[in-house]
Each structure stands twice: as C-alpha cells, then as structure tokens.
C-alpha cells in the first residue's frame, strides 16, 4: 500500500493485485504495534482508505498471480481472479446477505476462534466493502440472493483471467508462519487448544477480537499463567528454519505487556535464546517489560503434554538457573512461530531466491529493492523477515527505484523516437 501511494502521488497509475478479499495485509489483523503501542488499525485503516480513494490506484482483490513477463517494452502481468460469487460492481456492502445467511462457519479472520456467515464481509474495516461467498460452507439456500437489494449475488461466477500492462512491477507478497512446526516439534503433545500462535494473541487482545477480552480458546477461562515460547521454528536447523525471524522478541514482549494490562495478576514467562531488541527504542521497551515483572527465562522448552484442566506442561532447563530440569504447568502457551515466505515465484516469475526461500536482492547494499529482473522490485518481507518500520522504509525505496526506472525508460523511448 505504501509503495502504491508513493507512486500514485507522483502521478503514476497503479494496480494493486491482492490475493486476499481485502487489502491491509497482516497488519490490519494486529492489535497494537511495538514499541510505541500505537494501535495497528489506526495506522493501517487510513492507509487503506487513502489507497481506496486515490484516483490513480485501482484495487484488484482475490487475484492469484500467474505470470510476469516482459516480451517487449511493457510487462504483461497475468492473474486469475477467483470468484467472489458477488458482483463487485453491484454490491453496495449493506451486509443484508450476511445477516440473512443461516450458516455459521469458522472465521479465519479470527483464526477460527469465532464464527462468521457463509456470505460475509471479512471485517468491518475491510476494503473493498464487498461481500464474498464461501462455497465450502454455503448450503445454496438462496436467502442471500433473495434479500440482496442490488441482485449482486451470482452463484455462477467463474474464475476470471486478467492481464495488466505495466512499466514496472513491485512485489510485496509478505510472509506466513511455519504453522506445521508445533506438530513437527512436539508431536501429539501439541494437540491442546490452549497452545496458540502469536497471531491468535493479536486477535484475542484486539478490540475487534473474538471474545472482547483475554480468554483462552480451549475452554474460555481467563489464563492465570502464560508462557511465550520464542524461536518456535526460528534458529532451529533440525525442525524449523536456520534464520532469525527478527520480530518475535519484540511482539512477544508487546503482547505480554498488553495482556498484563488487561489481567494485572497474570504471570507471564517468556522463553528465549537471545533477546533481540535491536531497533530504535526497542531496548527501553524490553527493560520496561523486565521492570513490570514479565519473567525472561533463557531456555528452549518442549511441550511435554497436557495437565489437569487443559493446562500445558512445559519441560525446560533455565540456563541461568541452578535447578536443572524443570516441569511447569501453564494455562496458555503462545508459540512465536518462524516466519517463512508467503509466495514462491517458481514457474510463475523468473525471480531468484536465496537458500531460505525468500527472494534474492540483486544488490543488497546499494539498491536493496532490485531483483535479478530489470524493472521488477521487491519490498517488505518478501526478501526476509522484517518489522513494520523496515518494511515501510523498503516500500518507499522500491517506489523510488520504480519511479526512477520508469523515468529512465521514458527518456530512452523519447531518445529512440
């Protein structure tokens, strides 16, 4: 979004191609951000609105990238737009369909911790405010179609190929979490609904979250003892990924502080290998958490199994202690899962990758957003884990490179003509 706005403000026409049903990425699903504790929505929603209303920007959601080629001069970007089963031009976002739908399905927006309808708008601040129908759970009862004031529901929509012509392409496909790590590392012991990921915590503490307060998902009880396990899959050559995911230390500290604010009596332990509070004002943030009684334990625990009342038993050795192996029961365990690439260019775009699966930067120092393809730029976590600050900086850099690239291209064409 930042790269699009920077380019659109310079007068370039920009198409945003998004695989999700709404723009906003991961950040719009967060509660607050470190180290300022600004609310994520307050920063993201206005950007989303600015993008939506910019005369030079068009948003295409639910699109899967098929190919990026440059036969001559212009890039040809081919995508397949998945069916929403709701007409984009007709839907007015009134949510009548959503209210009328009798089906309740697991809401992936809330990481499955609450329900949504089979036809729905992802969340109240989603852009565009257009409903989509989930064919997995839809019973084809027809109520949405009947009630829709603009006859926007269309059960017969087909995937639609689209082609864009562009002078430059910026890829910012982001990251995902190494979700299978828990199973891989802890086996059956991971089968406890009170072992959750950091993205669950973001939803639980968010004002638009599933419970409107801090509860654990297993049985809806208020947790009294919470463990955060850092490097769950990061810096782990055997079961996870060898690299550091860069943001887990900080967001776990942030989430602990926010939970402590909601539940003042809660006991929180953060298990770490190293504490990597390396950004501006991150270190005072860490000190603040230490002063506020968050426990930091240098240990890599394993999940031993479940205890009484759905609790989780951890087994660890505090490397700075003298007690040897400790077994301790927690009401809730949060895994800071490793960050892995969200998108693989293989077979679609001839972009080089590094060994970690992220995209390779052609000139990491002098021009970090350049790739091996001239005219294709990268920004954000597509090239490796990064925090919000660094991702936004790269977006600015990528738009500058793209702008300069287009300008030199136009100059060349002018000279040739």
Partner 1 sequence: MTDDKKNSDGNDEARVGVFVCHCGGNISNTVDVEKVVAAALDMPGVTLAQRNMFMCSDPGQDLVIESIKSGKINRVVVAACAPSLHETTFRNALVRAGLNPYLYIHANIREHVSYVHKAPAATEKAIAMVAAAVAKAREIPPLEPITVQVTDHATVIGGGVAGIKAAIDLAVQGLRVALIEKSPFLGGHVAALDSLFPSGEKAGDILTELTKRLMSTPGIDIYTCAEVTSQDGYIGNFNLKVERRPLSSGDHALYPVLADRALNPGTDFIPFTGIFPVKPPVETEVIEFQTGSIVLATGFSLYAPRQGEYRYVDFPEVITLMDLFKTMSQEKKDGGYLEIGGRKIKSMAMVHCVGSRQVQGIHEPDEKGRLQENCSRTCCTAILNASTDIKKRHPETEIFHIYRDIRTYGKGHEEIYLKASEMGVRFIRFKVENAPRVQKNTEDGYAISVMVKDSLLADEELEVPLIWLYWRQA
Contacts with partner 1 by CB under 8 A lie at 39, 41-42, 45-46, 48-50, 52-53, 124-125, 127, 129, 206-208, 235, 242-244, 246, 274-284, 287, 298, 319-322, 354, 356, 358, 364-367, 383-384, 400-401, 403-404, 407-408
Minimum distance between the CB of residue 367 and partner 1, rounded to whole angstroms? 8
Distance CA 273, CA 126 (A): 37
Minimum distance between the CB of residue 249 and partner 1, rounded to whole angstroms? 9
344/408 with CB nearer partner 1: 408
258/312 with CB nearer partner 1: 258
| DSSP-H helix ranges across 265-323 | 282-291
Minimum distance between the CB of residue 215 and partner 1, rounded to whole angstroms? 16
Distance CA 198, CA 248 (A): 9
Long-range contacts of 300-307 (CB under 8 A, 24+ apart): 300/231, 300/271, 300/273, 301/227, 301/229, 301/271, 302/185, 302/186, 302/189, 303/182, 303/185, 303/186, 303/189, 303/190, 303/192, 303/195, 303/333, 304/189, 305/189, 306/189, 306/192
Phi, psi of 70 (to 5 degrees): -135, 80
Minimum distance between the CB of residue 244 and partner 1, rounded to whole angstroms? 5
136/355 with CB nearer partner 1: 355
90/367 with CB nearer partner 1: 367
What is the number of other CB atoms lying within 10 angstroms of the CB of residue 364?
13
Q: Which two tokens stand for residue 86?
A: 């709701």
53/414 with CB nearer partner 1: 53
Minimum distance between the CB of residue 371 and partner 1, rounded to whole angstroms? 14
Query: Rounded to whole angstroms, what are the CA distances from 408 to 76, 403, 404?
Result: 19, 9, 6
46/293 with CB nearer partner 1: 46
124/415 with CB nearer partner 1: 124
Minimum distance between the CB of residue 11 and partner 1, rounded to whole angstroms? 12
Minimum distance between the CB of residue 204 and partner 1, rounded to whole angstroms? 13
- Angle subtended by helix axes 248-262 and 198-205, to nearest 10: 30
């Amino acid at each position: 979004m930042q790269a699009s706005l920077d380019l659109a403000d310079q007068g370039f026409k920009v198409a945003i191609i998004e695989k999700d049903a709404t723009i906003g990425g991961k950040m719009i699903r967060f509660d607050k951000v470190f180290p300022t504790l600004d609310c994520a929505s307050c920063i993201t929603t206005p950007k989303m609105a600015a993008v939506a209303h910019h005369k030079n920007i068009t948003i295409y959601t639910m699109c899967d990238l098929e190919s990026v080629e440059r036969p001559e001069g212009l890039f040809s970007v081919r995508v397949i737009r998945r069916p929403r089963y709701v007409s984009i031009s007709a839907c007015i976002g009134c949510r009548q369909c959503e209210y009328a739908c009798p089906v309740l399905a697991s809401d992936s927006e809330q990481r499955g911790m609450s329900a949504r309808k089979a036809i729905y708008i992802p969340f109240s601040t989603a852009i565009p405010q257009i409903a989509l129908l989930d064919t997995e759970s839809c019973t084809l009862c027809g109520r949405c179609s009947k009630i829709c004031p603009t006859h926007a529901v269309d059960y017969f929509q087909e995937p639609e190929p689209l082609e864009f012509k562009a002078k430059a392409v910026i890829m910012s496909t982001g990251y995902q979490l190494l979700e299978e790590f828990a199973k891989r590392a802890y086996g059956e012991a991971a089968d406890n609904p009170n072992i959750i990921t950091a993205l669950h915590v973001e939803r639980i503490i968010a004002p638009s979250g599933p419970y409107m307060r801090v509860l654990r998902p297993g049985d809806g009880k208020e947790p009294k003892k919470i463990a955060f396990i850092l490097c769950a899959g990061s810096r782990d050559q055997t079961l996870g990924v060898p690299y550091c995911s860069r943001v887990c230390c900080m967001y776990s500290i942030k989430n602990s502080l926010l939970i402590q604010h909601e539940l003042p009596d809660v006991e929180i332990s953060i298990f770490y290998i190293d504490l990597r509070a390396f950004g501006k004002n991150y270190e005072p943030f860490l000190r603040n958490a230490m002063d506020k009684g968050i426990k930091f334990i240098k240990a890599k625990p394993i999940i031993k199994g479940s205890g009484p009342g759905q609790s989780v038993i951890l087994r660890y050795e505090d490397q700075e202690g003298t007690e040897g192996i400790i077994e301790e029961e927690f009401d809730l365990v949060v895994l800071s899962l490793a960050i892995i690439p969200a998108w693989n260019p293989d077979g679609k775009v001839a972009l080089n990758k590094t060994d970690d699966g992220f995209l390779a930067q052609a000139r990491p120092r002098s021009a970090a957003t350049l790739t091996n393809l001239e005219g294709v730029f990268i920004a954000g976590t597509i090239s490796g884990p990064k925090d919000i600050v660094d991702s936004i900086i790269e977006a600015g850099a990528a738009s500058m490179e793209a702008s300069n690239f287009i300008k030199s291209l136009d100059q060349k064409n002018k000279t040739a003509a």
